[in-house]
Structure 1
């Protein structure tokens, strides 16, 4: 069971919103209206941890260990929204999100395979780690720079926790888990080439609400994320390469096999597909039931 270990380690790293954020260092002359607007939209996006947690608990009723971990993840992700809202409340109260704007990103996600969802959110944490590092660089106001640095460190720790659950899943179901992780890994590692890096907040998750079924589509400014990445924090190819490299390095360690490109990972995914489709493997699986 991983929950007690993760609770202890994340408890030691937890920051205090009143004591660890340097509120007194705020400099209004270094906060532009453009930057402040992005903080509002990021706060609303972080609020979407609420429906994501509801999804995780629904789809992982078979796994009390992982479901218990959600108590930590949900708390820390909601605190991300809260610290951004607190920043606006103190320094740009005109931009504090309304309750209706926050509630707009709470909607039902369609059921999905738990292992694929786990890998998707692991990749999402790797992306946010780098996105927030870049956001900290882009901002000029010292308090928000520190906030984004703090959030980036949290996201990195969350990615590490998800990785532990991925390793646990491989220990339990072997190649079934490897295939799920490789499938999503290929998708995530190759998404930057299409010009639209994928993240849980810009994926369609409710067929009945399509096309208004992504977190981003329900923001006050649905086009914000692409503009933030491309023209504001300038998340370019070099930064995208850090995300892809992180995905490939972690899967290399997880699978005990070296992947330098998404193409190599895709070849491994196809190898797993053939293996799981083989009659001998299917018979072995039936015999174990």
Structure 2
């Protein structure tokens, strides 16, 4: 089982909201209304770990090891929402999300292949790590800069934990599952490394997950300002092609290591995907 080891490693680096956030360094002159609004939107987005966890537990009912790991992931992701809410509560209470706004992003996700969902969230954590690193650079107020750095580090560790379960699927569960895993990794890797070629921000919270609720079946569509993510990425933190390239490079490097073949471009990975499908 991976859960006991992951529990120990993540517990050893867990940050304390009271001790590790420099609340006394707050400088109101360095926080704009526009910035406070983006913090609110991120606080609500992070709250969507709740329905994501419900999905993971439902779709991995036969995998108690991974389901147990969800106790860590869920706790830390909800903590991200909580620390952003605490920041607003202390310094911009007028921007604090309401309980209704938080609850609105809790809805049922359609069932999906577990390995594809695992890969999707691995790639999503990589992208979030880069988004939050860029957000920390965009902000000038020292407390929120420190918070985004802490959250970004968590997202990187979560990606590492998901990667452990991806490796397990290739090595410990038999040839049939390993074949399914390769196909899932290649398929989702192509999708999530292709952001340069799409106008859509490729993250699990921005993908459609419930056909019966379409088009209001993405987390982002259920926020108070559904279009905020594109504005945050393009106009505010300026997550440009260079930063997208860093995300794609990390995904391709990981896929190369996992699948034992070098993928320098998305096209390389897509050719491999097609080979698997043909075989």
TM-score interval (norm. to shorter): over 0.9
Deviation at 1:114, TM superposition (A): 0.3
2:210 pairs with 1:210: no
Deviation at 1:192, TM superposition (A): 2.6
Within 5 Å, which residues of 2 pair with 1:1-289?
1-171=1-171, 172=173, 173-275=177-279
Match of 1:280 in 2: none
The 1-side partners of 2:278 and 2:12 are apart by: 44
Deviation at 1:116, TM superposition (A): 0.2
Where 1:174 maps in the other structure, the secondary structure is helix
The 2-side partners of 1:103 and 1:240 are apart by: 31
Once the two structures are superposed, residues 20-79 of structure 1 have per-residue CA deviations (whole angstroms, 9 ceiling, x without a partner) of 000000000000010000000000000000000000000000100000000000000000
The 1-side partners of 2:33 and 2:151 are apart by: 21
The 1-side partners of 2:65 and 2:234 are apart by: 39
Q: How big is the alpha-carbon RMSD for the aligned residues of Structure 1 and Structure 2?
A: 0.6
Which deviates more from structure 2 when the two are superposed, residues 184-193 or residues 21-30?
184-193
Once the two structures are superposed, residues 229-263 of structure 1 have per-residue CA deviations (whole angstroms, 9 ceiling, x without a partner) of 00000000000000000100011111111101000
The 2-side partners of 1:50 and 1:14 are apart by: 20
Once the two structures are superposed, residues 88-115 of structure 1 have per-residue CA deviations (whole angstroms, 9 ceiling, x without a partner) of 0000001110000000000000000000
The 2-side partners of 1:197 and 1:182 are apart by: 19
Deviation at 1:191, TM superposition (A): 2.7
TM-score normalised according to structure 2 size: 0.98
Deviation at 1:190, TM superposition (A): 1.1
Once the two structures are superposed, residues 110-157 of structure 1 have per-residue CA deviations (whole angstroms, 9 ceiling, x without a partner) of 000000000000000000000000000000100000000000000000
Deviation at 1:178, TM superposition (A): 0.6
1:188 and 1:197 in contact (8 A); partners too: no
Match of 1:279 in 2: none
Once the two structures are superposed, residues 204-247 of structure 1 have per-residue CA deviations (whole angstroms, 9 ceiling, x without a partner) of 00000000100000000000000000000000000000000010
The 2-side partners of 1:108 and 1:187 are apart by: 23
The 2-side partners of 1:84 and 1:126 are apart by: 20
- Between the two proteins, the alignment pairs up a number of residues equal to 275
- Structure with bigger gyration radius: 1
Match of 1:278 in 2: none
